[in-house]
Amino acid sequence: MTDKPKLTIRLCGPRGFCAGVDRAIQIVVLALKKYGAPVYVRHEIVHNRYVVEGLQARGAIFVEELDEIPIEHRDQPVVFSAHGVPKSVPEDADAKNLFYLDATCPLVSKVHKQAMRHQRLGRHVILIGHSGHPEVIGTMGQLPEGTVSLIETVADAEAYQPEDPENLGFVTQTTLSVDDTAGIIAKLQERFPQLTAPAAESICYATTNRQEAVKEAAPGCDLFLIVGAPNSSNSKRLVEVAERSGARHSLLVQRAEEIDWDNLGELSVLGISAGASAPEIIVDEIIDAFSQRFDVTIDLAITTVETENFLVNRQIRDVELTAQDMAFVNGNH
Ligand code: 2E4
Ligand code: SF4
């Protein structure tokens, strides 16, 4: 007999690493193997401190801009993060004679292409997204200044005054709230019936699936923990989805040590999911921390199974990963 209080953990699936994150981390690990340290990475490869520190320990150096790469290291590779970069970044890398590997998620690149297609067909581009986020900076930076307008909210969609309302096309950031975005698009379509949608959905499969799983699991949860970082757009959206879908309270947590055990309130059902950049090893760490204090039963809340897999850049496909490398790349080490 245990005297610990009973706790049911509803563990969402899919959760954690998506195919784009897996690929981006693999690119840095493969580059380190093939070219040796240091490998520079422009911006956090994905928004997760554990991943960044793990790569630093292997010899990666993170910078925000290419200018930070010392001249004597300009023969070492630089990797662009999964969030994508404005066109000016590869141009600048070429001008500096740098060798770069682009780890932009293929689904972000797809949005870039859709934005360029709108523009080629004479449409002013509306980008729905969050100001200042690196993916938004990257997508806006595919097009000349003044040819993209950023819309963040329904209020922005209401106030927007385009020069040519008949010639508009939209794309979105890949990690937005599915429901909020639908509201913004509905408002834009109501005001501009000619507005052209992208040929394919911009919010990606991983964002959609993680939100759907949280939505299903949230009703009746006393607390919903989302493993993820405060600068991770997709993780923050999961916190909102949990609260809106019926969890009494939801929190973003980066590591088990952050949990404020004395202030969790009455707990009998706990939801757990993880953003696309959060490694599974941290989910395990958090479940272990609860198991030390509660008599835990795990209830899997799985809405779909993902099989997506993205190939890494041609130049590094010949490098082999050890089992330990693979465990790190998959978030299990
Ligand atoms: C690229 C695109 O965009 P977000 O802040 O959610 O990035 P994060 O690094 O947390 O997640 C991976 C990722 C990267 C998601 N979409
Ligand atoms: Fe790509 Fe979607 Fe993952 Fe972002 S969340 S890296 S767009 S698969």
pLDDT digits (tens, 9 = 90+) for 260-319: 999 998 999 999 999 999 999 999 999 999 999 999 999 999 999 999 999 999 999 999
Sheet of 39-42: strand order equals 60-63, 39-42, 78-80, 100-102
Residue 25 Cβ < 6 Å to ligand 2 = no
Residue 272: Cβ within 10 Å count: 24
What CATH topology corresponds to 107-191? Cobalt-precorrin-4 Transmethylase; domain 1 (3.40.1010)
Atom of ligand 2 nearest to the CA of 106: 1
Ligand nearest to the CA of 206: 2
**What pTM value is reported for the model?**
0.98
What per-residue confidence (pLDDT) applies to 315? 97
87-136 pLDDT, tens per residue?
999 999 999 999 999 999 999 999 999 999 999 999 999 999 999 999 99
Residue 254 Cβ < 6 Å to ligand 2 = no
* CATH topology identical between 6-17+205-302 and 19-105+309-329: no
Pocket test for ligand 2, best of 21, 43, 178 (most atoms within 8 A of CB): 21
Per-domain residue ranges of the chain: 6-17+205-302, 19-105+309-329, 107-191
159-189 pLDDT, tens per residue?
999 999 999 999 999 999 999 999 999 999 9
Q: Of 142, 153, 174, 124, whose CA–CA distance to 18 is shortest?
A: 174
Q: Of 277, 319, 316, 321, whose CA–CA distance to 102 is shortest?
A: 316
Q: Of 7, 12, 11, whose CA–CA distance to 269 is shortest?
A: 7
Phi/psi at 265 (5° precision)? 75, -175
Q: What is d(CA 238, CA 143) in angstroms, rounded to the nearest whole number?
A: 30
In the three-class reduction of DSSP (H, G, I as helix; E, B as strand; rest coil), residue 48 is classed as coil
Architecture of domain 19-105+309-329: 3-Layer(aba) Sandwich (3.40)
Reported confidence tier of residue 200, pLDDT bands at 50, 70, 90: confident
What CATH topology corresponds to 6-17+205-302? Cobalt-precorrin-4 Transmethylase; domain 1 (3.40.1010)
202-259 pLDDT, tens per residue?
999 999 999 999 999 999 999 999 999 999 999 999 999 999 999 999 999 999 999 9
